[in-house]
Amino acid sequence: MARVSKDTTPATDIEVGNNEPAPPAPAPAPTFKAPRLGEQIAVVAGPGRVLANLEYGGRYSETEVSRATVTLRILRLLADGDLIRRPL
């Protein structure tokens, strides 16, 4: 004796979801060549970071792009994510 399923929904039903468009994909991050010592680059502070700008005085901003001459300190800050490189 064969069993009969009591589920009568056809297999072609489409799941109903919200009709909102998918969020736009984030813009790809710009790629840079590795900075060389003595090179001028543009940087901003990482989110939530307070960093002293020892070259020009003051602090690096999270929103305003600042110039920095690449030193060992700047390379370390970039590697740690404390500074983020931006296009000039």
**Residue-level pLDDT at 28:** 73
Residues 72, 1: Cα–Cα separation, whole Å: 80
34-53 pLDDT, tens digit each? 999 999 999 999 999 999 99
Give the rounded percent of residues in the chain with a pLDDT score beyond 90: 61
Q: pLDDT: is 16 or 77 the higher one?
A: 77
* pTM of the model as a whole: 0.66
Q: Residue 59: pLDDT band by 50, 70, 90 thresholds? A: very high
Q: State the average pLDDT over residues 55-77.
A: 95
DSSP code string of 15-84: PP---PPPPPPPPPPPP-PPPPTT-EEEEEEPTT---B-TTTSSB--SSS-EEEE--HHHHHHHHHTSEE
Residue 62, number of CB atoms within 10 A of its CB = 14
